[in-house]
Protein backbone atom coordinates (compact mmCIF):
# COMPACT_ATOMS: atom_id res chain seq x y z
CA UNK A 1 0.00 0.00 0.00
CA UNK A 2 1.62 3.31 -1.01
CA UNK A 3 -0.10 5.14 1.88
CA UNK A 4 -0.23 2.90 4.98
CA UNK A 5 -3.02 5.04 6.46
CA UNK A 6 -5.21 4.59 3.34
CA UNK A 7 -5.94 8.29 3.20
CA UNK A 8 -6.46 8.58 6.95
CA UNK A 9 -8.85 5.61 7.21
CA UNK A 10 -6.34 3.59 9.25
CA UNK A 11 -4.33 4.38 12.36
CA UNK A 12 -0.92 2.69 12.09
CA UNK A 13 1.29 2.29 15.17
CA UNK A 14 4.52 0.45 15.83
CA UNK A 15 4.53 -1.05 19.31
CA UNK A 16 7.62 -2.40 21.04
CA UNK A 17 7.33 -5.80 22.70
CA UNK A 18 9.91 -5.48 25.46
CA UNK A 19 9.60 -9.12 26.53
CA UNK A 20 10.47 -10.44 23.05
CA UNK A 21 12.65 -7.53 21.96
CA UNK A 22 10.65 -7.07 18.76
CA UNK A 23 8.38 -4.47 17.25
CA UNK A 24 4.81 -5.14 16.16
CA UNK A 25 2.66 -3.20 13.74
CA UNK A 26 -0.80 -2.39 15.06
CA UNK A 27 -3.49 -1.16 12.69
CA UNK A 28 -6.88 0.16 13.78
CA UNK A 29 -9.60 1.79 11.76
CA UNK A 30 -9.90 5.48 12.53
CA UNK A 31 -13.67 5.42 11.96
CA UNK A 32 -14.50 2.39 14.14
CA UNK A 33 -15.60 0.36 11.10
CA UNK A 34 -14.60 -3.30 10.91
CA UNK A 35 -12.77 -5.28 8.23
CA UNK A 36 -13.82 -8.54 6.59
CA UNK A 37 -10.25 -9.76 6.04
CA UNK A 38 -6.70 -9.28 7.26
CA UNK A 39 -4.66 -6.57 5.53
CA UNK A 40 -1.61 -8.83 5.37
CA UNK A 41 -0.41 -8.80 1.73
CA UNK A 42 -3.55 -6.87 0.73
CA UNK A 43 -1.73 -4.51 -1.64
CA UNK A 44 -3.34 -1.46 -3.29
CA UNK A 45 -6.87 -2.94 -3.46
CA UNK A 46 -9.76 -1.10 -1.77
CA UNK A 47 -9.98 -1.82 1.96
CA UNK A 48 -12.07 -4.92 2.85
CA UNK A 49 -14.74 -3.17 4.90
CA UNK A 50 -17.50 -5.29 6.48
The pLDDT score that the predictor gives to residue 29 is 92
The pLDDT score that the predictor gives to residue 9 is 93
The pLDDT score that the predictor gives to residue 2 is 84
β-strand partners of 24: 15
pLDDT tens for the chain, 50 residues long, are 788 899 999 999 999 988 888 998 888 998 888 999 988 888 888 999 98
The pLDDT score that the predictor gives to residue 17 is 86
pTM of the complete model beyond 0.85: no
In whole angstroms, what is the distance from residue 40 CA to residue 21 CA? 22
In whole angstroms, what is the distance from residue 20 CA to residue 44 CA? 31
Amino acid sequence: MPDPTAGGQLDVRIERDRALGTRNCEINTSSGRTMQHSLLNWGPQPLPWS
